[in-house]
Amino acid sequence: MARFIVRRLIASIFLLIVVSAVVFLLFYVFPSADPAQLRAGRQANADQIQAIRESLGLDKSVIAQFWIYIKGVFTPLDLPGTDSHGPLYFGHSYQSNADVKDVIFSDLPATVMLVVGAVIVWMGVAIPTGIISAVRRRSFLDRATMITTLIFISAPVFWLGLVFLYLFADDVGLIPIFPGIGSYGAADTFAGKVGAMILPWLVLGLATAAIYARYLRSQMLDVMEEDYIRTAYAKGLPDKRVIMKHTLRSAITPIVTLLGLDVAVLLAGNAILTETVFNIPGVGAETFNAIKRSDLPMIQGITLFGAFFIVTLNLVVDIAYAYLDPRVRYD
């Protein structure tokens, strides 16, 4: 197992270098606004723009820029002309001059809070719903649940967010019970931030729960057809034990994979829609701004963080698998 983990970690570093290269390439190959010009503003003359370009290092070749970037992130070398040093130096924003790492770390708490709460909501809703639907297959309850989940899956998250705000936000809602747009940024206590997160948690959590509930249901139905489930009944085990100990245990494994990937992708900025609707200053919102401003270091930094989350959580999922399924061994 230890060897497997070390091997995977080494592979991950190469993967992250490749991801950086691809982002660099995309940034230069596809048309985007000139960062130096954006930074200089409208009144600047050519000399000023050129000076900015040089100070940002944009006058160097793409290869040289990429090399400097990789050195900063992956090697402990000091970089000439900057006051920040590697390793894990992701550069400064072209537009605000802020250290990319600091920006991401300041955005991360809001996103982590959003994702963790949403995961609790969606797993808490999806697991019981999936089990009940599978066990009471074709019952009224099952059909009602499956139709409801279909609605939640079909509805875009931003629309769902707006509907929830319209219904429940304390400023504009019909039933004003939960804090609405922008309340996260306005809250200065932890309790206040938790309150502000209730609606985003519900929206992101329920939208995802719908997918998980359906997936778990179909997994459960598959496992229920397995021979060893019939063996369990033939042994005279109570239904509850067959369902919880034998069926659910098998059916939950693929859900773990899905969960690992979803959490990684959400932390990497995929919560952008929820964050935008509720005006939560998280990684998703930062991504949006960075793309708008041609801010390559920010885009690079966020992408690398995202890739890092995905790689890490995949590894965690693979390790978890070895515990969930004794047939899986890594040697």
Partner 1 sequence: MSAAEENAAILEVADMRVWYGTRGDPVRAVDGVSFSIGAGETLGLVGESGCGKSTLGRGTLGLLPPMASVSGSVRYDGRELVGMDPKELRDMRGPELGLIFQEPMTRLDPLQTIEKHFRETLRTHEPDLDDDEVRRRSLEALAGMGIPPTRFKQYPHEFSGGMRQRIMIALALVLNPKVLIADEPTTALDVIVEAQILGILADLRRNFDTAVLLITHNLGIVAEACDRVAVMYAGEIVEQGDAREVFAEPAHPYTRELLRATISLETTGLNYIDGAPPSLIDPPPACRFHPRCPNAMAVCAELAPEETTGGGGQRVRCWLNGPEERIPEGGREPLEREEIAAAEEA
Of 171-179, 212-220, 243-251, 295-303, the window that binds partner 1 (rule: CB under 8 A) is 243-251
Q: Which stretch binds partner 1 (CB under 8 A): 70-78, 115-123, 199-207, 240-248?
A: 240-248
Distance CA 232, CA 247 (A): 10
Q: In angstroms, rounded to a whole number, what is the distance separating the alpha carbons of residues 109 and 97?
A: 21
Only one of the segments 165-173, 176-184, 223-231, 266-274 lies at the binding site for partner 1 (rule: CB under 8 A); that segment is 223-231
Q: Does 240 engage in binding with partner 1 (CB under 8 A)?
A: no
Query: Which one-letter DSSP state was computed for residue 270?
Result: I
If one asks whether residue 1 binds partner 1 (CB under 8 A), the answer comes out as: no
From 21, 245, 291, 292, residue interacting with partner 1 (rule: CB under 8 A): 245
CB of 136 to partner 1, least distance (A): 11
How many angstroms separate the CA atoms of 171 and 234, rounded?
59
One-character DSSP codes across 15-75: HHHHHHHHHHHHHHHS----HHHHHH-SS--HHHHHHHHHHHTTTS-HHHHHHHHHHHHHS
Is residue 237 involved in binding partner 1 (CB under 8 A)?
yes
Q: Which residues contact 235 (CB under 8 A, 6 or more apart)?
A: none
Residue 327 found at the interface with partner 1 (CB under 8 A): yes
Q: How far apart are CA 105 and CA 282, in angstroms?
A: 10
Indicate whether 326 belongs to the interface with partner 1 (CB under 8 A): yes
CB of 229 to partner 1, least distance (A): 8
Answer yes or no whether residue 221 interacts with partner 1 by CB under 8 A. no
**Residues making contact with partner 1 (CB under 8 A):** 226-228, 230-238, 241, 245-246, 249-250, 324-327
